[in-house]
Chain A
Amino acid sequence: MSAARVETWLWLAQRGSAAVLAVAVAVHLAGIIFAVQGGLTAAEIAGRVGGSTAWAAFYGVFVVAATVHAPIGIRTVLSEMTALPPFSVNAVAALFAAMLLVSGFIAVAAVYQLGAA
């Protein structure tokens, strides 16, 4: 695939993930503002979203969208604002994506099992 084609696909992926994130972040913000009223505890989190397949699926989609969106943004910032060579920029972005995906799914699983326990 040509470099220009790669840039086009990355641009599209970032906008597509942004559209998913717009909904997910709005729901997340509403949840935060609602949940923080009574003070946050593990029991409160477990009761609200723990053990719920629907919430786990929602946060799973959220993690995937953030994994696509954030590393592409970091790649853009690094290539525009640092002197790093393209290979290093791509490597940092790819490693960051892998780290987000794995740690994000561990976090989703941890919160899910909190309610299932």
Chain B
Amino acid sequence: MRAAAHRNHAAWWAFALHRLSGVLLALFLPVHFYVLASAIDGAARLDGFLRWTEQPPVKFAEAALILLLAAHLTGGLRLLFLEFVGWRDGQKSLVAVASGVAVALALLFLVNAA
């Protein structure tokens, strides 16, 4: 059970989320570039795709992407702080702040996109 015990900690979940969000964002990047590159054939093709993204399920998927990006940003800032400034007590609080900011940004996107 020791293997499971070390995972029952905010810092482990922060590590897991950082890794998962990083892999998913890396997989999304080529798709993002492909869609933007479609504008090279003129505005019509890009507009066709942008109209498709107006559907509610796509908007929720976009909000999930914003959450992933914001979580990777805030989690990454936490890591940079840890590595270059040093360990501070209250890691749980830092993880909570990083998660809270990420969720708030995703909600802000959803409210603005509605």
A→B interface (CB under 8 Å): 15, 18-19, 21-22, 25-26, 28-29, 32-34, 36-37, 39-43, 45-46, 66, 70-71, 73-74, 77, 96, 99-100, 103-104, 106-111, 113-114
- Which residues of A sit under 8 angstroms from B5, Cβ to Cβ? none
CA distance A96 to B108 in the complex (A): 32
- Which residues of A sit under 8 angstroms from B79, Cβ to Cβ? 18
Query: By CB atoms of chain B within 10 A, which of A22, A70, A107, A109 has the most?
Result: A107
A110 with B39: CB separation less than 8 A: yes
B83 with A106: CB separation less than 8 A: no
**Partner of A32 from B37, B47, B109 at Cβ < 8 Å:** B109
Q: Tell me the smallest distance from the CB of B65 to a CB of chain A, in Å.
A: 9
Cβ-closest chain A residue relative to B51: A41
**Partner of B73 from A29, A45, A46 at Cβ < 8 Å:** A29
Q: List 10 A-B contacts (CB under 8 A).
A: A18-B79, A25-B73, A33-B66, A45-B39, A46-B43, A99-B30, A106-B37, A107-B33, A111-B39, A114-B39
Chain B contact residues, majority secondary structure: helix
- Which residues of A sit under 8 angstroms from B97, Cβ to Cβ? none
- Which residues of B sit under 8 angstroms from A33, Cβ to Cβ? 66, 105, 108-109, 112
**Partner of A110 from B40, B70, B105 at Cβ < 8 Å:** B40
A113 with B40: CB separation less than 8 A: yes
Could you tell me how many residues of chain B have their Cβ less than 8 Å away from some Cβ of chain A?
Answer: 38
B46 with A42: CB separation less than 8 A: yes
B61 at the interface (CB under 8 A from A): no
CA distance A46 to B29 in the complex (A): 21
A77 with B23: CB separation less than 8 A: yes
Q: Tell me the smallest distance from the CB of A71 to a CB of chain B, in Å.
A: 8
B69 at the interface (CB under 8 A from A): yes
A100 with B33: CB separation less than 8 A: yes
